[in-house]
Structure 1
Amino acid sequence: MTKRVKRALLAATMLGFAGPAMAQDVTLTIESWRNDDLTIWQETLIPAFEAKNPGIKLRFNPTAPTEYNAALNSKLEAGSAGDLITCRPFDASLSLYEKGYLAPLQDLEGMKNFGDVAKSGWSTDDGSVTFCVPMASVIHGFIYNADAFAEVGVEPPKTVDAFFAALDKIKEDGTYIPMAMGTNDQWEAATMGYQNIGPTYWHGEEGRLALIKGQQKLTDDQWVEPFRQLARWKDYLGDGYEAQTYPDSQNLFTLGRAAIYPAGSWEISVFNEQADFKMGAFAPPVPKEGDTCYISDHVDIAMGMNAKGPNQEAAKTFLNWVGSEEFATLYANALPGFFSLSNHEVKMEDPLAQEFVSWRTKCKSTIRSTYQILSRGTPNLENETWNASANVIKGTETPEAAAERLQKGLASWYDPQK
């Protein structure tokens, strides 16, 4: 081909007579609240996708977390939202689907890589439609100061008795606060307390789904027992725990003043930067040796498709990649503590993150009991559980009274519990 012919073809293209290769060039815009992820998308995820999908470009467009829901709704209503929508779990995204803003994705090829628990945060109540591809979850457990454990002479506990024996020994030694957690912010007591150890007693998904169906009540023993366990924690939280905030708890642990931290895995990156001692992690202890262990492996973030977006085929190509092993590995290692929800076996480079995710092979996974369906009414079960957990730890409410109050509140508006 002569240079003249080449120039003529180029001119024709620039005038709008594009061939098939040019016609498929599109730019997909991703809406997200994770503005702290910007460099991960720009430096890791976007280059990896674009390298394998020439003709499709990605633009990551984050909004401040507190403004995301309102800003996204306004864009969707105006028809100016991006092609891809980062999805928060449960009702916020379900509402977008019900309004016709998120496309159904259950038939997407990449969706076969996710189980029912993984999809639960972005599915209709009956599970028939899934409208976002799961990206990551956070796992609950306990992070410990390995240097402190070695110094005091305790091992990571596997049973409840061993757990309290370790706390007693640390307390008796006197060098460290046995456990760093406060009750001032309330959510901490519920999220890292009740929802951390609770699945062991209500048997994860079995109990959670039975509660939704009205087959179990919050006053049943398996729902009261976690409160009884929390009531025992107050003796190990150190002086002034009642006024201790969440940042206070983080600081107590990372400064080396506390031996154990009831944790969500999202702490891993922060603790790695701030703590100058070796850390380890152990799963929620089981009542007795040989019992099945359960973990809260809570769905956190997913990606959906704008149902009215102009580039739906390209968007589906990207969403299938989000469901791939490559994306799972890149994302989970770029953000230690945010774990892939896919069925792929993802090897974590961070040893603390690897310890957390290894529990999936030993324990049964569930999500937080209050997040699906049960917090849609007033009183809000999630918020009430915060208050109840804090009260029980402080001793201002008995486990039985707290459970009774939660049950009464839920039954006041939720028909299956009436």
Structure 2
Amino acid sequence: MKFKKFILLIILLLTSGILFACSDKDTTSSGDSGEKVDAVELELYSWRPEDREAYEKFIEAFEAENPGIKINFQPFESTEYNTILTNSLVSGSGPDIVQLRPYSGTKSIADNGYLAPLDDVPGVMDIEESFLEAAKGSDGQVYGVPTTLNAGVIFYNKDIFEKYGLAAPETWEELLQVSEELKSNGITPIAQAGRAAYLLSMLHGVISPSAYGGNDYVDEILAGSTDLTDLKMMETLDRMEEIEQYLPEDFIALDDNDAQALFYAGEAAMYINGDYRLGTFEKNAPEMNIGIIPGLKGEGQNEPFVMNWVDGSFGVVEDSEHKEEALKFIEYMATKEFGQLFSDELNRLSAINGVEPKHELVKQVTKASEANTTPYLLLVYFGEGSPTTKTVFEDSLQGMYLGEITKEQVLEDAQKNVERVATEEE
């Protein structure tokens, strides 16, 4: 069934009229002696146009050590990337190196033979196993080098907290207490949007691990000893109901940009999303005194649960005419040198071992992640199928907040979709 759907997607893309011309990938460059040498030009696809300047620095460092290889960084808009990549792979006119969506996104491309396995590339297997899981095919082989880790965090306005004598909450109970105090002073506690359903899934992902117990519950789910209708998961929905009173009025109709504006303006004291929003905040509100709560502690725990997931990875196209050179660039991306440069330039969490972020807030999140990390449950393990269980769950959360369905129905609908996806894959 899954294969048939992929073939249908291919047919649709081939009839969509999107064509890409093959480019001349042969060029020249100067070696250490100053002599002209034949150089190979590699095409690198990405969905991050905003990172162009940083990637040009990464590439410059690589090319300085590898004068026979030139890298052409070609980023596309994120919303268009999947279609462009799929079409290029099917037509055979595509790039040599590709940025891969994590988990099911990588698996679907690898399983159809478009990617070269990377298990033997030096440095790749030194990356933490849980990160490599995001870049594996169904055969268990690794097809991508994870570069970026995301963490679900709580941003807070330190000036507002100081004004009302509040400490950053570390537990669920403290979060409610702080929110009540802020609300009593006319401040919206949490700038939360709900028009885009995935934002509700993010909110749930940040506040839920300390309710269900983090990795222990995840292991039970994976072992099949429990499912999404478990009482622990019901407790997470109790929290979602309880926190509603501290969100903006009619938040289900709010766009994320509106929520961010509330946070910028000081009308809201906290904002929950991925740590990648840090760059956005520092660009749009550079004077804002921002703090980060990396997660909430569970009962009797010393460290908060930090919800992590791999944002993406880079792989090599199996049919690349210059696969050897492309693999050399992948080897570079698996080095600590690259990981450090990546973190320094983009203020993001690196998936490479031993990287020390220079940004204090990124350093804080990295340290907390290393102490007690837990996966973004719905994205990492329930991202397959059409629709995915993650999509069903977050859409149902919207329905719950609108009073259209009960908490029990939210979990029942999610579990039914898990079973449907499992049946279709058999």
User: Which TM-score band (shorter chain)?
Assistant: 0.7 to 0.9
For 2:230, the equivalent position in structure 1 comes to: 220
Secondary structure of the structure 1 residue equivalent to 2:123: helix
Counterpart pick for 1:150 among 162, 176, 179:
162
Tell whether 2:285 aligns with 1:277. no
Which aligned pairs between 1:202-241 and structure 2 lie closer than 5 A? 202-241=212-251
Tell whether 2:122 aligns with 1:122. no
For 1:359, the equivalent position in structure 2 comes to: 368
Secondary structure of the structure 1 residue equivalent to 2:204: helix
Tell whether 2:79 aligns with 1:66. yes
Would the aligned equivalents of 1:110 and 1:319 in 2 still touch at CA under 8 Å? no
Distance in 2, Cα, partners of 1:75 & 1:417:
26
Does the C-alpha gap of structure 1 residues 172 and 289 become closer, same or farther in structure 2, counting only changes over 3 Å? Answer: farther
Tell whether 2:53 aligns with 1:39. yes
Does the C-alpha gap of structure 1 residues 288 and 200 become closer, same or farther in structure 2, counting only changes over 3 Å? Answer: closer
Q: Structure 1 vs Structure 2: percent identity of aligned residues?
A: 24
Distance in 2, Cα, partners of 1:210 & 1:202:
11
Tell whether 2:333 aligns with 1:322. yes
Which aligned pairs between 1:42-61 and structure 2 lie closer than 5 A? 42=56, 44-61=57-74
> Partner amino acid for 1:297?
N
Does the C-alpha gap of structure 1 residues 204 and 122 become closer, same or farther in structure 2, counting only changes over 3 Å? Answer: farther
Distance in 1, Cα, partners of 2:87 & 2:239:
45
Would the aligned equivalents of 2:384 and 2:421 in 1 still touch at CA under 8 Å? no
> Partner amino acid for 1:283?
P
Secondary structure of the structure 1 residue equivalent to 2:155: strand
Tell whether 2:103 aligns with 1:90. yes
Structure 1 residue 153: Cα displacement: 1.0
Does the C-alpha gap of structure 1 residues 182 and 76 become closer, same or farther in structure 2, counting only changes over 3 Å? Answer: closer
Structure 1 residue 102: Cα displacement: 0.4
Structure 1 residue 328: Cα displacement: 0.8
Q: How big is each residue's C-alpha offset from its partner over 1:336-358, in whole Å with a ceiling of 9 and x where there is no partner? A: 2x32112223223x222222222
Does the C-alpha gap of structure 1 residues 138 and 182 become closer, same or farther in structure 2, counting only changes over 3 Å? Answer: same
Would the aligned equivalents of 1:410 and 1:417 in 2 still touch at CA under 8 Å? no
Which aligned pairs between 1:397-412 and structure 2 lie closer than 5 A? 397-412=405-420
Structure 1 residue 41: Cα displacement: 1.8
Would the aligned equivalents of 1:179 and 1:236 in 2 still touch at CA under 8 Å? yes
Tell whether 2:184 aligns with 1:172. yes
Would the aligned equivalents of 2:147 and 2:351 in 1 still touch at CA under 8 Å? yes
> Partner amino acid for 2:384?
R
Q: How big is each residue's C-alpha offset from its partner over 1:122-147, in whole Å with a ceiling of 9 and x where there is no partner? A: 11246x20101111021111000000
Would the aligned equivalents of 2:190 and 2:270 in 1 still touch at CA under 8 Å? yes
For 1:9, the equivalent position in structure 2 comes to: none
Tell whether 2:312 aligns with 1:301. yes
Secondary structure of the structure 1 residue equivalent to 2:117: coil
Structure 1 residue 415: Cα displacement: 4.6
Would the aligned equivalents of 2:101 and 2:311 in 1 still touch at CA under 8 Å? yes
Distance in 2, Cα, partners of 1:106 & 1:207:
30
Does the C-alpha gap of structure 1 residues 416 and 360 become closer, same or farther in structure 2, counting only changes over 3 Å? Answer: farther
Q: How big is each residue's C-alpha offset from its partner over 1:3-35, in whole Å with a ceiling of 9 and x where there is no partner? A: xxxxxxxxxxx9xxxxxx977732222122222
Q: How big is each residue's C-alpha offset from its partner over 1:63-98, in whole Å with a ceiling of 9 and x where there is no partner? A: 232222222222222322222111111223222212
Tell whether 2:342 aligns with 1:334. no
Structure 1 residue 166: Cα displacement: 0.8
Distance in 2, Cα, partners of 1:88 & 1:172:
43
Secondary structure of the structure 2 residue equivalent to 1:216: coil
With structure 1 as the length reference, what TM-score do the two structures score? 0.87
Distance in 2, Cα, partners of 1:318 & 1:358:
28
Does the C-alpha gap of structure 1 residues 63 and 416 become closer, same or farther in structure 2, counting only changes over 3 Å? Answer: closer
For 2:44, the equivalent position in structure 1 comes to: 30
Structure 1 residue 315: Cα displacement: 1.5
CA RMSD of aligned residues (A): 2.5
Distance in 2, Cα, partners of 1:286 & 1:408:
31
Counterpart pick for 1:369 among 361, 377, 383:
377
Distance in 1, Cα, partners of 2:223 & 2:423:
10
Secondary structure of the structure 2 residue equivalent to 1:371: helix
Secondary structure of the structure 2 residue equivalent to 1:25: strand
Structure 2, unaligned stretches of length 5 or more? 1-27, 29-34
With structure 2 as the length reference, what TM-score do the two structures score? 0.85
> Partner amino acid for 1:314?
E
Would the aligned equivalents of 1:370 and 1:382 in 2 still touch at CA under 8 Å? yes
Distance in 2, Cα, partners of 1:291 & 1:390:
33
Distance in 1, Cα, partners of 2:224 & 2:389:
15
Counterpart pick for 1:384 among 380, 388, 392:
392
Tell whether 2:150 aligns with 1:138. yes
Does the C-alpha gap of structure 1 residues 394 and 231 become closer, same or farther in structure 2, counting only changes over 3 Å? Answer: farther
> Partner amino acid for 1:92?
G
Distance in 1, Cα, partners of 2:43 & 2:386:
37
Does the C-alpha gap of structure 1 residues 81 and 22 become closer, same or farther in structure 2, counting only changes over 3 Å? Answer: farther
Tell whether 2:86 aligns with 1:78. no
Higher mean C-alpha deviation, range 211-220 or range 388-397: 388-397
Secondary structure of the structure 1 residue equivalent to 2:379: coil
